[in-house]
Amino acid sequence: MIHHLNCASFRPLAGPALVAHCLLVERDQGLLLVDTGFGTDDLADPRRLGQPFRSLGRPVLDPHETAVHQVRARGLDPADVTDIVLTHMDLDHAGGIGDFPQATVHVHAAEYDAARRPRLTERGRYVPAQWSHGPDVHVYSAGGDEWFGFGEVLALDDDVVLVPLAGHSRGHQAVGVRRPDGGWLFHAGDAYFSTGEKERPRRCPATLRAFQVAVAAHNKLRLANLERVQELHAAHGDEVTVFCAHDPSELDALRGSA
């Protein structure tokens, strides 16, 4: 079973409301999370998220939205979360890993390097305190197979694949999760922010478009990979359900179909 969670809400002064769309996957070998939103320690000390981020994004910081609370609310044990796959390590995606200290964290090698050794322009996006508990981290880089036209795709197992989609951050990746019906969910992370961006022609509110350019580690590469996401959605939309991390309409639609 796959649960669609909102693990952080944002109410920016400029632009639409946003969410942090995460997945909770029930597997025979244990529970798996794709991204984690904010964690309990972030809510206990919001200052560590930084004033610029809090002023710009205006996170709600609701304890009921933490992944650990939502795992328990479904009658599941947080200790059974064996794996956490991160699309990237931005503070609104990696904050909850400390609530699952037993879990193995899976992340692209370039992203892990960026988080541990950020450039000056990257320092505001990573919060080392979020992984100061010393999690077991598995990193991935080049190699792998082809998957719906994407190369160097690595399989975590038969039902979870890691798809390099750098640009938003240095080691940003998408995560494919097989649906119970045999199709796939494609968590595109922050490859785009508004559902209209996976369509052609691309549609996106001006504020979100500007924000994505401003925070991109490599904007030309981000746009090139966004085109690949558009191609996936256009050519394989009947097999692969594409969604991003922050669009609330996509979250609502997938919750309704789960």
| The pair of three-digit structure tokens given for residue 149, joined into one six-digit string | 């036209």
| The pair of three-digit structure tokens given for residue 160, joined into one six-digit string | 């979870």
For residue 111, pLDDT beyond 90:
yes
* pLDDT tens-digit readout, 112-128: 999 999 999 999 999 99
Going by C-alpha positions, the residue among 16, 23, 21, 34 that lies closest to residue 1 is 23
Instruction: Indicate the number of domains in the chain.
Output: 1
Tell me if 152 sits within 8 A of 140, measured CB to CB. no
State residue 19's pLDDT score.
98
For residue 98, pLDDT beyond 70:
yes
Residue 31 structural domain:
2-257
Going by pLDDT thresholds of 50, 70 and 90, the confidence category of residue 258 is low
Going by pLDDT thresholds of 50, 70 and 90, the confidence category of residue 144 is confident
Mean of the per-residue pLDDT values for the chain? Answer: 96
CATH number, domain of 238, equals 3.60.15.10
pLDDT above 70 covers a percentage of the chain that reads 99
- The torsion of the CA quartet 215, 220, 222, 225, rounded to 10 degrees, works out to 180
